A and B are shown apart, each in its own frame.
Chain A
Amino acid sequence: MEYILIILGAVLVNNFVLTRFLGICPFLGVSKKLPTALGMCGAVVFVMTSASAVTWVVQNLVLEKLGIGYLQTIAFILVIASFVQLVDIAMKKFSPKLHAALGIFLPLITTNCAVLGVSVLNIQLEYGFLKAVIFGFAASLGFSLALIIFTGLREKIDRANPPKAFQGVAIALVTAGLLSLAFMGFASLVK
C-alpha cells in the first residue's frame, strides 16, 4: 500500500514537472513531436530510476559513513554523470538498437535538475533503498505522463493557427501553465 501511495504521489500529486517544476527544459525542448518525446521518456525513466539507486548507495554507504553528507550535490553530479556515460558506452557495445533509440537523449539529461532532484528528495524523505528506486521510477513516469500529454497538446495547437502574438513559445508556456493548474487538482489526494 505504501508503495502504491509513493507511486501515485510522484506521478499525479507531486508531479515532477507540473507541481515541483523540475525538468522544465526537456519538457519544453522535446515536446514538439511525439516520437522524439517518447524517446526522451524512455531515457528519463532509465536514468532517473538508476540514478536513484546509485545515489542512494553513494549517500548512505559512502558520504554518511564519512560524515560528509553535506557534499551530496557535488558527489551526486559526479556520480550520475559518469554513471550515465558508462551506461551509454555499454549500451553502444551490447545493444546498438537501444542505443540508436535512446543514445542522443542520454547526455541531454545527465545533469538535468529532475534527475538530481529525485536523488536529493530520496535522501530528504529518508527513503530506504527499495523505496528510493520506486520513487525514482514513479517520478520519471510522472515526467513521461506530463511530457506526452503536453506533446499531444502542442501538436494540436500547431495546427490550430493561434493568433500571431501567441505563436511558438508563448502559447506553449500558456499551455504548460494550464496543464500545471489541471494537475493541481490532484493536490491532497495523497498526503
Chain B
Amino acid sequence: MSASPSTAPARPAVQPPGPWSFPTPTRHTLSNGVELVLYDIPGQYVVSVRTTLPFPLTVEPRRVEGVATIMARMLDEGTAEHSPEEFAELLERKGIAFGASVTDAGLAVDLDVPKRRLPEALDLLRQTLSAPVFPQPEVDRHLKTRLAEIEQERALAPQRAAREFIATLYDGEDRASRPTGGAAGTVSAISRQDIVDFHAARVGPRDMTAVVAGDLAGLDVVDLADRALGTWESSSQRPAPESQAGRVAADAARVVLVDRPGSVQTEVLVGCVGPDRRVQATWAAFPVLGFMVGGSPNARIDAVLREEKGYTYGIRSAFRPRRVGGLFLTSGSVRAESTVESVQLLLQILESGREGFAEEEVRAGVDFISKTAPGRFATADAVADEAASLALEGLTTEFTTATLEAMRGLDPQALVDAYRQWVTGQWTVVVVGDTGLYAGGLQELGIGPATVVPA
C-alpha cells in the first residue's frame, strides 16, 4: 500500500451510474390458470414467494366488514391436513416466515424461506390457500385480537388520524371511508360461517398471480409450483367485480380535530385525492413530487419545519396509489405549542408546489428516485414485493421499468402540471392532539370551520 497522503484530497467528481435494469422475469401459466412470475436473482438465498388475488373490499358484506382480513390472518390456523399447532410447527421448523394481509386491492399471501426449503414451503402455501379450516377457537381468538388491535390503533396518533381522515375524505356510504380490517361493530358480528363463506367465494386460482424471486438455480420452480399450486381447483370462487374509486364526500375539504388532552405533540394529516398508477399523463411525476415536497430532511416541508424551526422530527408527503384512484398525504408530528404555525406553514408549502419547481429541485428528485432503484430492488423480497403490489393493480414490473425511464425525461413543467392536476387547495385536515391548545388559533387561520371529535 502507498504511503498515507498528508493533506486533504480534493472533492472527487461523480462518475455517471452504470447500466441497470429491473430484473426480467419469466412468465408461466399453471395448469389451473394461476399466473406464475419468476425472478432468478443469483446470490439471494432466501426465496420470496408472493401470491396475490385482486378483489375490491366491496365484496365483503357490509354487516361483517373486516371478514377478509380475519380470513387472511387465519389461513395458516389449521388446514384439512394439520391442526393449527401442527401447521405452525411445520412453518417454524422449516424457517418459513408466513404472512397474509388484505388491502383495498385484494389479498396477499407471502412467505420467505431458505432456498432449500422451497418445495415444502410451496406445499404448505397450497394448504393455506386451498384448505384452511378456520377452527372455532382460533376464530374466537382472532376476533378478540382484532378488537384489541382496534383499541391500540385508537391510542396511536398516526393511526387515529388515518382513521379520521378516510372517514372525512370519503363519503360515509363508501367502503373506502371505513377501516380495511373492520370496526368494532362489524368485527364483533363476524361468525365462523362468514369466514368460511368468504373464503369459498373469493379465494381460488382464478385471477391469482404467484411471484417467486430468489436464487432459483438448480430448481425447477415451474414444476414445483405446478404440483403445489397448479392442481388446486375451486368450484365456488366467484369472479371479482371491478374496483371503483372511493367516492369523495361532498364536504371533504374541512378540518377535524381529534381531542387528546395532555398530548405533548400534535399529529397532523393533510391530504386530498390523488392518482392511481394508470394516471393519464404519467405516474412517473408523482414519486418525484412526493420527494420534492416531503421526502427528505431537506425537502420543502422539513427544510422549514424541521431544519429551520425545529418543530418536528420529520414530516413526509407521498402520493399513495390505490387500485383505482389514490391519495396525496402529508403527515407527521409537531410540538404541541407549534400546532397553529405548523399547520399554517404546512398548507403554505403544499400550495407553493402549484407555483412550480426549480430545475435543480426537479433534477435532484428525479435522480434520487431513479438512481436509487438498483439498490432498492437488489434483494429478492424487494423485487417480489414490487411485482406483487403491481400484480394487485393489474400491472407487471415492466411498469416499473417504463416509469423509471419516463422519469428521466421529466422537466419542471411536467411536474407542476401533474401537481396542479391534483392539488387544488381543497384539503382534508385532521389534527390529533390537545385541542384546547390550538382550536382557537386554527380557527383564526381561516382554513374553514373545525369539527372536534373525541379520541
Q: Do A and B come from one complex?
A: no
